[in-house]
Every structure is written in C-alpha cells, then in structure tokens.
C-alpha cells in the first residue's frame, strides 16, 4: 500500500481546507494538489505545489502583466511558436514540486536530470521501511541482443519463477541484516549511515523534486518515451498526466513538437531530398552508420 491510513487522512484534511490566493491559478493543477497517484507496487507521485500556468508562459514571453493582452487563440499560437523554435526561458517561469516515492535504482537513474532541486529521505537519520520493488512477471525480460540498455524477450515459466524468488529472498535477507546491524539485543548496534550500505537497490526511498517546466519537458521527452526503462517510464507517464492538466496548451505543443516530432540530421535531410527526387538510396550510400540508418528507416521506411 503506497500510503498509510494516517497519510491519507492528512492529505484529505489538507484538501478540505482551501485558501484564497491572488496568484495565478491552474484549475487542472489544483485538482491534483496533495492527491497521491500510485506507481509500481509501493510508489506514488503527488503534487505538493506549483507556480504558474499557460498564461504565465505567455506573460513572460511578452513581458506583460495582468490577464494578458491577446486572445486565447493568439496565446496558443505563441506557445506553439515558442516550443517549435526551442525558446526555453518562458517555460522556465512555471514550476512543479512533487513528492515521489520510488525504488533506489530508479532514483539513481532519475537524478541524472541535474536541473531540479531535490531533497531525499535520509537513511543516515531515519530507518528505512521494509518495502521493495518486485517486478510483475510480464516485466521480467532477458537482455536485449540489439540494445545494450534495453530488454529482450520476456522470461517465462520456471526461469521467471526462479528470478522472482531470487529477487524476493535477496531483498528480505539484506533487510533482515540491515535491521540486525541497527539493533542487536539491546546493544548499541551499527550507525545508520553504515548499516544502510547493505540495503538492496530495489528498496523504496522518497524525495521532494522541484523543477521548472522547460526542464520537466526535457525529462518527459526522455523518460516517457517508449524506449525508456519501464520502471522510470511509468513515473514519467504519471507526471505527464498531471502536466497535461496543469498547462494543457503548453503540453499539447510539447506532445506535437517533442514527443510526436522527429529530429533530422543533415545526412537524413539529404537522403529524404534524394528520395523525393526519385532516387533509390540505401545505407551504403547514405553516409549514415548502421545504427543511424536503422533509426532512420524505423521512422521513414
């Protein structure tokens, strides 16, 4: 269960006491405030706070004030222009602060996005909970033979059962030893900052993660992509649903130009021009490597 009854009661109490404000408000973001969205077996994301909305992006781009100086369709066109031409600073005027509960190995991948403010639960001061991420059988896969960072065929039958048993037993045994080192029959025990060394990477941790919209879009472009690792992708997909409600115009432009768009190298543009002129072009005379050509043909045939 991602949230305890006490945490649920606290969230409900916070949501039941709205306060008036003069700041820019997004009704879509307001609907998500404090609400926990479950991810994986014990994880979640929840919005703690946000700043700005679609109008704030337009306001910053025009350096205007108040409700804006143009019509809504003009604002939408401006946001799409900013996204299309890779203007970043107007999107940086919006920020989102999330409370995230996630496995340690996902956190170590996530923290590679260094353009956010992060404060993580400290195992130096507190004792970790006995909660581990155990994949569902359909997510147990062999190493890909074509992608060193990806997965191949799903494990089945006895092999899948064997791997699941290893994951469960290793996690439980490591946590047993962690608890034993912390307290040994009334003895002082090992310091928490040392005992944590033995914790498995599938132990759940928590953090507050605050990021501006420009860098959040970059995170989503990489981590909500179909090629991203499943365990971080499901977090990115949950966040994307929140962002779509928070800044719907900006998110629509992001979906169109980033998630749904394709970046072309100079060589790829040259190949497309030659094809449009009626020429048959193969990898050998394209100037591309085999990997580049494979990615090119996946999109363009």
First vs last C-alpha separation in the chain: 45
Strands 95-103 and 43-51: antiparallel
Rounded Cα gap, residues 163 and 35, in angstroms: 34
What the block records as the tokens of 9 is 């009661």
223 noted as active-site residue: yes
181 close to 149: Cβ distance less than 8 angstroms? no
Q: Which residue is catalytic, options 15, 84, 223, 274?
A: 223
Contacts of 283 (CB under 8 A, 6+ apart): 290, 293
Rounded Cα gap, residues 229 and 221, in angstroms: 13
Rounded Cα gap, residues 204 and 275, in angstroms: 51
Closest CA to 79 of 69, 71, 91: 91
Rounded Cα gap, residues 299 and 301, in angstroms: 6
Residues forming the active site:
223
């Amino acid at each position: 269960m991602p949230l305890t009854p006490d945490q649920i009661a606290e969230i409900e109490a916070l949501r039941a006491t709205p306060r008036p404000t003069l700041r820019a408000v997004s009704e879509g973001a307001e609907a998500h405030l404090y609400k926990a969205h479950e991810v994986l077996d014990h994880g979640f994301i929840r919005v703690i706070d946000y700043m700005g909305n679609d109008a704030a992006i337009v306001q910053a781009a025009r350096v205007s004030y108040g409700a804006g100086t143009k019509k809504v369709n003009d604002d939408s066109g401006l946001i799409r222009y900013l996204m299309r031409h890779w203007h970043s600073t107007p999107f940086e005027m919006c920020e989102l602060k999330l409370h995230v509960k996630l496995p340690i190995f996902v956190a170590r991948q996530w923290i590679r996005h260094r353009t956010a403010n992060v404060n993580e639960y400290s195992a130096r001061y507190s004792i970790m909970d006995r909660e581990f991420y155990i994949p569902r059988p359909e997510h147990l896969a062999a190493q890909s033979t074509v992608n060193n960072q990806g997965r191949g065929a799903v494990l089945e039958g006895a092999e899948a059962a064997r791997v699941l048993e290893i994951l469960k037993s290793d996690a439980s045994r490591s946590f047993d030893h962690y608890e034993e080192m912390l307290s040994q029959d009334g003895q002082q025990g090992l310091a928490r900052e040392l005992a944590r060394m033995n914790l498995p990477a599938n132990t759940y941790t928590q953090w507050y993660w605050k990021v501006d919209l420009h860098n959040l879009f970059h995170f989503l472009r990489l981590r909500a992509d179909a090629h991203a690792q499943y365990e971080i992708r499901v977090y990115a997909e949950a966040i994307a649903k929140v962002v779509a409600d928070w800044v719907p115009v900006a998110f629509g432009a992001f979906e169109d130009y980033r998630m749904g768009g394709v970046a072309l190298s100079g060589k790829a543009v040259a190949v497309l021009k030659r094809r449009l002129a009626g020429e048959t072009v193969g990898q050998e005379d394209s100037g591309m490597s085999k990997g580049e050509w494979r990615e090119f043909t996946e999109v363009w045939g």
